[in-house]
Structure 1
């Protein structure tokens, strides 16, 4: 009932699958004129056989849609999340769900480039979007179990992997020499002693998941849209922002193996980070603008420590993930090389932070 009441709030078309039927809301009658002998008021809500889903998609009064296929277990929670984000204009509109997928708004746009993450106007709007995202109240478990729960699962998988290709073997042996389980325990202890609010996080903020909307390139506001909420959950604020900062250093558009370029010198400077924190706190911290300059500086300095410590977790998380992908993925990408790059960056940042 909760899911149904949520879904029917969408303004154009919502379909929620229940067995072999779908609950549909629509603002025109063309799809349903042959199904009824009366003229109901709009919006029209009907319980329809799933075979009529095609009619909804083909209706000329519907705007463009995007078909997303995924596993059934993840689909319900992600679609609820997707619907709420769409309603609050933080993501594409959701037009319908069905077993194994959903119908999303097609957004004319392009993805940002890595270098655009640091462009002042874009940087400011990303800070605003992240702040609004973190301010969401979502109907999910609010305990921050996602980060280390997922990392522990990844670690178990990594320790059971075997490789046969020589360069994979060489790099994997090097990774194992770092005693990753002990290193992860040390990281967990560090972060448990680092205050960081638990908020609703995107958890994969990188240029490929931020769209620049067509026709709004030269505007000052509302030109960006966040997408891809696969990893979104309640998590520590520091991880989400730290992960975003880490992504400044990786360019995934390189067209030769390993299909990415790393440049740790592009990591945000202290001045850039403090500017981000200023924007973030103005949006999220009630009364921040009325604090003394000294108190404002203290809050930003605290965030500086928090975010950069959690940036270590970003490197560790995606490093483990990439080792697994090196074994199972069929995508042409240097996953093992990327894992090495992330762990190299982890130890480099750890040394810089002196932790």
Structure 2
């Protein structure tokens, strides 16, 4: 899920009001959240210079704190010229005519929309300036590489126009972010299912290389397993801090959780391999704030492609059923209510709603793989099996976000915040309770 109060709008590109994002001010990626399993503290370090083969780079830095100053506009124009951004690099643009709208600002990112209404041909851009601590919290090279491969090879997500020493310039989509109500709409849900099928068709080796994310008996080559293992030490370090209430430490009981997780992982990896458990390139955070709908429908384009998926910081290999199950749990969330940290199980999609999603997902997956059209009975059988896998792997979603929430609470604990903007401990408690309830239901 992605909640901070990063007044952030998912990652990318819709000119809408600020939204609550689970990718908090201190952490914004799943795959590289923790630098090493032995880490017990997160140290602020200067942002690294990140480049990607095939992308232009400008050897300049921007200070996001000064975005309202004329000097910032001049530096930004120089970056755009060096990157040869279409419309911006050749036109004579008065710096005073540039409109810079701040979308979010946190330790991880400062995000801006950049436009110049007075000069025809200048497209609105998304400017991302990396925060000083982001290099210690996420893998910028990996994130940039994923974005570039997905946009250039698969036409998924925003195009990256180029990089500079502490940030990058991205494509802007004239769109609106989906709401908690939108993802429940049957048609929109089918579109999301189709888009997820397309994402799951991405060749893992094309993104990471043939030797990346090797499969092994311990974790199946699944990122969620590797992440939980890596996050447990830093999560325990947070709970060991002197101002964390003892009853909270007891409720989480991380030694017990570790045993429970290992039992679950051993059991789930021994299940038969199915369509739903195949290892795919997964988004892993398909919550409504990371799904955009284009405002201007393009003629001749498949209607489901008006849904744009953004925020790939969490993307990594996982079971298809994990990604779908995680999305369904996000149906239970409302990050724009008085208690954004609480999931409402009553909002979890019904069997009819899940099958509506599955039908679209399966049909598009079959089309992409050029499989013959499924018979009606085969479709029903495949949906039944997929639903079983989704309910099983949904437990892993609860487990991962529970430990993530504990790690995320660190900043508030260190600062002695008693009424945080987003209650990460409360969020983690809910996900932990749901994980343990699922284990009981599965008989594990």
**Aligned Cα root-mean-square deviation (Å):** 3.2
Match of 1:346 among 432, 435, 443: 435
Shift of 1:76: 2.5
8 Å Cα contact 1:65-1:95 kept in structure 2:
no
Gaps of 5+ in 1: 8-14, 34-55
- The total of aligned residue pairs comes to 320
Match of 1:184 among 242, 256, 261: 261
Match of 1:333 among 411, 414, 422: 422
Distance of 1:178 and 1:251 partners within structure 2: 31
Q: 1:27 to 1:154 in 2, by over 3 A?
A: closer
Distance of 1:57 and 1:261 partners within structure 2: 37
Distance of 2:248 and 2:88 partners within structure 1: 61
Look up the match of 1:313.
396
Counting only pairs closer than 5 Å after superposition, residues 1-355 of structure 1 correspond to structure 2 as 3-4=52-53, 6-7=54-55, 15-16=56-57, 24-25=83-84, 27=86, 31=90, 61-70=121-130, 71=134, 74-87=139-152, 88-137=154-203, 138-140=206-208, 141-143=212-214, 144-161=221-238, 162-165=240-243, 168-176=245-253, 179-194=256-271, 195=273, 196-216=277-297, 220-255=303-338, 258-285=339-366, 286=369, 290-329=373-412, 332-355=421-444
Distance of 2:376 and 2:347 partners within structure 1: 29
Shift of 1:92: 1.9
Q: 1:215 to 1:261 in 2, by over 3 A?
A: farther
Q: Which whole-Å deviations, capped at 9, do the CAs of 1:36-95 have from their partners, x for residues lacking one?
A: xxxxxxxxxxxxxxxxxxxx9989544111122334572232222212322333212211
8 Å Cα contact 1:110-1:213 kept in structure 2:
yes
Q: 1:352 to 1:288 in 2, by over 3 A?
A: farther
8 Å Cα contact 1:282-1:289 kept in structure 2:
no
8 Å Cα contact 1:201-1:233 kept in structure 2:
yes
- Greater RCO (Cα-Cα under 8 Å, separation 6 or more): 2
Q: 1:170 to 1:64 in 2, by over 3 A?
A: same
Q: 1:215 to 1:68 in 2, by over 3 A?
A: same
8 Å Cα contact 1:114-1:207 kept in structure 2:
yes
8 Å Cα contact 1:254-1:260 kept in structure 2:
no
TM, length-normalised to structure 2 = 0.64
Which ranges of 4 or more aligned residues in structure 1 deviate by more than 6 Å? Answer: 18-23, 56-59
Distance of 2:407 and 2:319 partners within structure 1: 24
Q: Which whole-Å deviations, capped at 9, do the CAs of 1:279-338 have from their partners, x for residues lacking one?
A: 111111346663333332222222112111111000000000001111225762111010
Distance of 1:284 and 1:321 partners within structure 2: 31
8 Å Cα contact 1:163-1:169 kept in structure 2:
no
8 Å Cα contact 2:333-2:340 kept in structure 1:
no
Distance of 2:342 and 2:187 partners within structure 1: 25
- Secondary structure (helix, strand or coil) at the match of 1:107 reads coil
Q: Which whole-Å deviations, capped at 9, do the CAs of 1:211-248 have from their partners, x for residues lacking one?
A: 1233459x954332111111111222121111001111
Q: 1:301 to 1:221 in 2, by over 3 A?
A: closer
Distance of 1:30 and 1:157 partners within structure 2: 45
8 Å Cα contact 1:90-1:129 kept in structure 2:
no
- Secondary structure (helix, strand or coil) at the match of 1:179 reads helix
- Secondary structure (helix, strand or coil) at the match of 2:355 reads helix
Mean Cα displacement is larger for which, 315-324 or 108-117?
A: 108-117
8 Å Cα contact 2:194-2:304 kept in structure 1:
no
Shift of 1:98: 2.2
Q: 1:114 to 1:351 in 2, by over 3 A?
A: farther
Shift of 1:156: 1.7
Distance of 2:241 and 2:321 partners within structure 1: 34
Q: 1:221 to 1:305 in 2, by over 3 A?
A: closer
Q: 1:288 to 1:282 in 2, by over 3 A?
A: farther
